[in-house]
Structure 1
Amino acid sequence: MAFAGKWLTETQEGYDEFCKLVGIPDDIIETGRGYKIITEVTQDGNDFSWTQVYPTNARVTNKFTIGKESDMETIGGKKFKATVSLDGGKLSVTFPNYHHTCEIVGGKLIETSKAGSVTLIRTSNKV
């Protein structure tokens, strides 16, 4: 249950390069650069609800069960099917354009998104 709770973005490394690579328009990249995203996670055993709330009040919620294919959605509204795995305390899932992992390190939520050789690392504190 380490992921459960409310998290607030502290830092983002590789933001611009990652966003450009996955096709986000420059004006959206500029607007979102300083966003402090709130991530709300509930966990009941292997069942998760993972919501990201943006300062614009845009909200994306993905509900999934570890090891089972689930319906997912990107912030851009693209719907896809994916299976989230949990290995060594790290959640892992492949989105349409990148691979995403989440783990708790030193009491912080570390989200890593990789597309080719480009990596975005978002660190959040529990609030």
Structure 2
Amino acid sequence: MAFTGKYELESQDNYEEFLQAIGLLSAKTDHKVVTEVVQEGNNFTWTQSIPNWTWSNKFSIGQECELSTMTGSTFKAPVTMEGGKISIQFPQYLFTAELIEDKLVMNCIIPGEKGVTFKRINKRI
């Protein structure tokens, strides 16, 4: 499947501003981030890992799913895919992910006054 694979952080923009905006001021920003995606049809397992911390969600495209935030709280939201781009509305931001030339490009967009867009580009490993 297209998304299935292991990806390593290549570059990112506005990560510290994003963490501050969502209330994770104490989060470390100088770590190696690995994202592992397992896609089976419309079903996904999406895991991000840094040393001493792992965050994982399972979801299905086209369905409302129970998901967890980086802080561990849970919420329900529909997961959509349009034009190869996955979209999930988290409580504080819109998450999108797509493959561009074999790179996993993720954006977290906080609307309104805080107006932060965090972009992470990951290379396949």
Per the normalisation by structure 1, the TM-score is 0.91
Report what 1:99 is aligned to.
94
Q: Which of 38, 41, 58 is matched with 1:42 structurally?
A: 38
Render the CA deviation track for 1:57-84: whole Å, top value 9, x for unaligned: x111111110111110112101111111
RMSD: 1.0
> Partners in 1 of 2:81 and 2:67 — Cα distance?
17
The number of residues matched between the two structures is 122
> Partners in 2 of 1:20 and 1:60 — Cα distance?
19
> Partners in 2 of 1:61 and 1:17 — Cα distance?
23
> Partners in 2 of 1:63 and 1:11 — Cα distance?
25
Kindly indicate which of the two structures has a greater share of residues assigned to helix: 1
Query: Does the 8 Å contact 1:104/1:110 carry over to 2?
Result: yes
- Aligned pair 1:10/2:6, yes or no? no
1:1-127 aligned within 5 A: 1-25=1-25, 27-28=26-27, 31=28, 33-56=29-52, 58-116=53-111, 117-127=115-125
**C-alpha displacement at 1:105, in angstroms?**
0.8
Query: Does the 8 Å contact 1:70/1:82 carry over to 2?
Result: yes
Per the normalisation by structure 2, the TM-score is 0.92
1:74 counterpart letter in structure 2 = T
Dislocated runs of 4+, deviation >6 Å:
none
1:122 counterpart letter in structure 2 = R
> Partners in 1 of 2:77 and 2:50 — Cα distance?
23
2:124 counterpart letter in structure 1 = K
% same residue: 40
**C-alpha displacement at 1:55, in angstroms?**
1.6
1:108 counterpart letter in structure 2 = K
Query: Does the 8 Å contact 1:102/1:111 carry over to 2?
Result: yes
